[in-house]
């Protein structure tokens, strides 16, 4: 009986992780992380939303309809996700260290887009940076770069 229950949960976990792996593109994974930063302080300013759209357009060469579609999916996943791991794993699989550093810099840009950095935004970026395997010095360098970009 216990073996059947264990098999059931193992099957469910494997199916869910395969579905997430197959359905979440790298663009959506990055968009979810960006959305998490924007949603962190529960204030969605127009500047943050514009910055997010601009980042997706530049980073992934997406058209306006593609950005809209990506953001819709990203917001849905962001609101329903239990953690960042499934998205950061996708980024780690597809991006080099330099690319991951660039992603964290973009996270800071979204955080600074409204002119105010909250502690929860900083905390979320720190968690994501850790999951992307950035060293503390790289994390600090991304923050400094984004601060200079925001000025």
Higher pLDDT, 103 or 4: 103
Rg (CA), the chain: 17
Fold for 25-150, please state it: TerB-like (1.10.3680)
Cβ(84)–Cβ(127) below 8 Å: yes
Query: Which residues lie closer than 8 Å to 17 by C-beta, 6 or more apart?
Result: 86
Tokens for 131, please give them.
């999951």
pLDDT digits (tens, 9 = 90+) for 75-98: 999 999 889 999 999 999 999 999
Per domain, the residue ranges of the chain are 25-150
Q: Choose from 11-25, 71-85, 107-121, 126-140 the range with maximum mean pLDDT.
A: 126-140
* pLDDT reading at 112 higher than 70: yes
pLDDT tier at 102, thresholds 50, 70, 90: very high
How far is 71 from 56, CA to CA, in rounded Å? 9
pLDDT digits (tens, 9 = 90+) for 8-67: 667 766 644 444 445 689 999 999 999 999 998 888 788 888 889 999 999 999 899 999
Cβ(93)–Cβ(47) below 8 Å: no
Higher pLDDT, 128 or 45: 128
How far is 103 from 101, CA to CA, in rounded Å? 5
């Amino acid at each position: 009986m216990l073996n059947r229950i264990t098999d059931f949960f193992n099957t469910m976990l494997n199916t869910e992780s395969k579905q997430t792996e197959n359905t979440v593109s790298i663009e959506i994974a990055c968009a979810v992380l960006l959305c998490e930063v924007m949603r962190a302080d529960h204030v969605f300013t127009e500047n943050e939303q514009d910055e997010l759209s601009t980042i997706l357009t530049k980073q992934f060469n997406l058209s306006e309809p593609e950005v809209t579609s990506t953001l819709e999916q990203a917001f849905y996943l962001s609101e329903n996700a239990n953690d960042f791991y499934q998205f950061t794993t996708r980024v780690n699989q597809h991006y080099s260290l330099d690319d991951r550093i660039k992603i964290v810099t973009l996270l800071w840009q979204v955080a600074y887009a409204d002119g105010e950095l909250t502690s929860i935004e900083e905390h979320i970026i720190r968690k994501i940076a850790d999951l992307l395997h950035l060293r503390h010095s790289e994390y600090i360098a991304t923050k400094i770069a984004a601060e200079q970009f925001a000025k």
